[in-house]
Each structure stands twice: as structure tokens, then as C-alpha cells.
Chain A
């Protein structure tokens, strides 16, 4: 399977584009790194690929077909700040199982303790919440994972824990991953290949 962005351009104003003719392609099971300076449009590209932003020019396709706007999106996006990705009025158990029923194996792999499930989001730390966000996104129906700076806000041990698990799961499920980060060391460690998004972007 292939997730493709072709000639993607985006800008809030007509003559001030953030993204210009970006081409990107990601295959199943591939772990691709995306590096760019602050403000180069990395996050916008992620949102376009995952269908969060649809006022762009160009084409985003999954195996040459457009991604349907309704129903489960096989392209899942996980953000930098997990606090914003959970409804503060929900308990963690409901948050975790919103998309699919997360198996006990995955919970154990992520180190999610059962007594966390009864807690409210504000009782958990960022690193703990990010595990929930990832477990929620990695359902059997997910084909691609866009990881937009997912470990930027956590310490190095948590970062290593999270990525080791994610890599195991995506390998098992044959999911393609786009790793967005400003940390070259991390990208070098994780990815087979790297794409650079320059300010005036020609990848």
C-alpha cells in the first residue's frame, strides 16, 4: 500500500504559500523521517496527509484512490501535545477505546497500568497520555501513522520506551510511519529514509 501526496500546496493567503508543490510517498512497513526548520510547514503537511486540513491544492491518495472523508481513516495522526488530544471530561478507559477495543497485549506493551484506566486525563503526565494516544491510533484498521513530534515533550527514557514499542507494533501490523522531528539523532536512529522539507519547499 502507498500513501502519496502529489504537488501539495497550501497557504492561508494566495501569494504566501507555506507548502509549495510538495511530493511525498510512504509505503507500508516503511519508516520515513521528515526534517524541516521551525515554520517550514511540517505540521501542516501532516494534517493534510491525515485529512485534517482539506483546503489544499494537489492530491493525497491511498493506493491511487482518494481517502473517503467519512468512516475510519486508515491514516492516523498523533500530535506533539497529548493533553490536547484527549477530552478532559472523559475517563482514560473511554479515551483509549474510542476507536477500537485495545487489547491487553498492547496495553502491556505500552506499559499502561490497569489502574490508570479509571483516572482522568489531568491526573496523568504527558508521557503517559501519549501512550494512550498511540494505542488508540494503532488499530488493526490503521495503515499509516503520522507521528508529528510525538516525543518532543517527554524525557529520553520515555522517548526510547515509546518508540521501541511503536516500532514493534508497526512492524507486526505492517504499518507505514512518517516520523516528524527536529532531532536528527532520533530520525537517524528510527528511519530507513529521510525527507528534508526546506523553507521554500522542494523536498
Chain B
């Protein structure tokens, strides 16, 4: 409860209507000392019935490491089945009971255990989901945004909530409404308010953008940028590389359950020469405004066992070494990459 008071209502609320201006979003006075969230060598597998009574393990995430810093937006980009949503579920501790998690997740310097995840969830760590069914349909908006607070703090919270609603252009009537009375855009703003009022430090947005028209898309993205500017660490999970490029600082590219590359936004330009991994380059060149060029093949299925590099089959520059073991994640040009060819 102590962290609730940390919100400073007088803080400059300058970004409400600010337009997103592409790449020019690096916040200047950022101190990159310690990562707020550190995921190290994470592996996730599910126990499943193969046929009849035999159980097998299905590995969906392997050797995954990422870091999220305060004041930064980290986009996680990948196709469906790359494990990006499962990573979010791992951090929030909402995996099903047949899941097995290995590796280490650190938050604020200490290990994030299941108990700590449950304690932090919805407070320090907030999820902004794609689905609007996330709100309780039988509860008034204001109650959902404020959550349960002690009686003596209620007045204060109410005041704070009004201010936040004003910032996101939500009318005072909204707080007395029920979720079904809200439009899609309003719902999104309410969800954002919920994360802001609980003074979450880490925001995880899971596919918040697909199917939005340009105006709504930019509006939604501006909320995340706003949060990052206030010092939150934002993880934006999406398959839409274009949306990610508009606001993020770093882009982690997921493929078949692991990270292939962590690139800076500035690397995405021209024909992608600055990009470190051929898969990232292919993603970039496949955009309709670029070359609209598709490489052949598919992401391997989860139950396929692959000895070498997981991108081996689709890679145009593979060599003998690539068939032997997954390349290590290494530092290249101010980013990270998992490729034998990169230097």
C-alpha cells in the first residue's frame, strides 16, 4: 500500500495530446544503471498428453533473456507461437498448472517468485490486455480503477482518480458507468488509468493494437509513451512491427520461443542493413511500404526438435556451424543477436 502515495498529482501532464513523432522519442535524462525487470535464461514447458496416458513435455520458451529499463519502452515482436504472450504470463504468474518454468526472473534486484508475482500483480506490475472483457461487467468504473483502499484514503484516491480521468479526457460521468456503456476507446483509456493510479512501475501491454484505425492506434500508443516518460518500464507485446517502431526504444524479436535479436529503433531503416539478424531483416523487408517481400518457410512447430539454429531452414546465409547448436546471444553494434554471421 505504501507505494500508492508515491504518485505525484502535480507532476507535469504534458503528453496528453502529444502526437507520436516516430523515432524521436528517446528520453534524454535516462539513467541506465539497473534493469527493472531482468529475465535470464528462461525456459517454459507444458506437460501434455501425447496419446492416451503418456505425458510428454512441450517446450515453448527456451534460453530467453531480456531486460526492461525504467523510462523505456521495450517492444517484443514476433509471430503467433513465438512465445511472446507466454513470457507475459510467466512474469505475471498466471500460467496454467501444467506449466513448468525454469530460469530466473528478477524485479528491482530481487527474484520474482510466485508469491511475489501475486503480490505485485495489478499493483507494481500491471497488464493491459487486448480484450476489453478484462473489466468486471458488474462493477462501476470508479471502483475498478481505484480498487480496494482503506476508508481514510478513499477521498484522496477519488481526487487522484478524477485528475487522471481528466488527463485521459474521460468525463466525470464515466466513473459511475458500467463497462458495457463504454466505447472501445474509452475502455482502453480506463484500463490505462487503472495502471496509472496503482502507480505500476512495470506495464505489460499484450497485443493492444491490432485492428485499430490509424487515429485510435496513435492515441493508444501515446498512452504508453506517456507512461514511459513518467518513469515506468513498458513492455509492448505485438506482432505489428510498424506500431512497435512508432514509440519503442528497443525491439526484441522473438522466434520459436527465444530472442533472435534486440535492436534499437534507429536500426530499422532503408533495406535493414543495420539489422543484425536475417529474420529481423526479413520482417522489415516484408512490410507493404518496404519491399513486401516474403521469405520462404515457417516458424518451426513447438513439438519439432531442432538441433541447430532455429532459423536454419529459412536462412539464406547458413553455414555448417549453424547446424550445430543454437548460437549464443551476443553483443553486436549496441544490440544483441543470436547469429553466427553477425559481427
Contact = CB atoms under 8 A, between A and B. Distances in A.
Interface string A18-37: 00000000000000000011
Contacts of A192: none
Nearest to B217: A182
A190 B292 CA distance: 10
B286 A159 contact: yes
A189 B292 CA distance: 8
A125 B60 CA distance: 13
A185 interface: yes
3 residue pairs, one from A and one from B, having the closest CB atoms: A160-B294, A155-B79, A189-B288
Given A125-B79, A189-B292, A152 B211 contact: yes
B79 A127 contact: yes
Contacts of A161: 294
Interface stretch (B32-40, B92-100, B297-305): B297-305
23 contacts: A36-B213, A38-B211, A39-B184, A113-B298, A125-B299, A126-B80, A153-B80, A155-B78, A155-B79, A155-B80, A156-B286, A157-B295, A158-B294, A159-B286, A160-B286, A160-B293, A163-B292, A182-B212, A182-B214, A182-B217, A185-B287, A185-B288, A190-B288
A155 B215 CA distance: 21
A202 interface: no
B213 A38 contact: yes
Contacts of A164: 292, 294
Interface in A3-62: 36-39
Contacts, number: 84
Interface string A70-105: 000000000010000000000000000000000000
B155 interface: no
Nearest to B81: A125
B85 to A, nearest CB: 12
Given A126-B80, A157-B282, 7 more contacts: A38-B213, A154-B239, A157-B79, A158-B79, A161-B294, A164-B292, A182-B217
B58 to A, nearest CB: 10
Interface string B295-319: 1111101000000000000000000
Interface in A143-187: 149, 152-161, 163-164, 182-186
A114 interface: no
Contacts of B286: 155-157, 159-160
B236 interface: no
Nearest to A43: B211
A182 B243 CA distance: 13
Contacts of A156: 241, 283-284, 286-287
* Majority secondary structure, A binding face: helix
B143 interface: no
Contacts of A184: 214
Nearest to B253: A155
B212 A157 contact: no
Nearest to A37: B213
Interface in B156-189: 184
Contacts of B296: 111
Nearest to A182: B213
A48 B214 CA distance: 25
B215 A37 contact: yes
A118 interface: no
Interface string B114-149: 000000000000000000000000000000000000
Contact of A38 (B78, B184, B287): B184
Contacts of B283: 155-157
A80 B81 contact: no
B288 A157 contact: no
A157 B294 contact: yes
B210 interface: yes
A79 to B, nearest CB: 12
Contacts of B216: 37-38
B301 to A, nearest CB: 7
Contacts of A80: 211
A160 B282 CA distance: 10
A124 to B, nearest CB: 8
Of residues B80, B215, B216, which shows the largest number of chain A Cβ atoms within 10 Å of its Cβ? B80
